Amino acid sequence: GVAAGDYSVLDGFGTATFFDNCFLDITENVTVNINTCQEGTITRSWTASDGSNPNASCTQVITITHVSDWVVEFPA
């Protein structure tokens, strides 16, 4: 998963698509900002470069919210 540095699991949230008439070098940067309550953001940024024109880029922010997993047990 993401905690182990496997960002491919994020592809379900979409990926960037770039088009050009030349070869493109596409880089992806991922910044994980999740607190101990498992809430925060994951920011993905892609940059495409063909070596001659200005770079093209886009950014995606995935917001993580914690769903309560509280368990209450009463003694018998």
As given in the structure block, the two tokens for residue 11 are: 């592809």
Residue 4 dihedral angles phi and psi, to the nearest 5°: -90, 5
Give per-residue pLDDT as tens, 29-47: 999 998 988 889 999 999 9
Hunting for tokens 């953001």 — which residue is that?
Answer: 41
Domain boundaries of the chain, sorted by first residue = 2-64
pLDDT digit string (tens) for the chain, length 76 residues: 676 777 778 888 888 888 788 888 889 999 999 898 888 999 999 999 988 878 889 999 999 888 877 778 888 7
Q: What whole-number distance in Å separates Cα of residue 55 and Cα of residue 26? A: 10
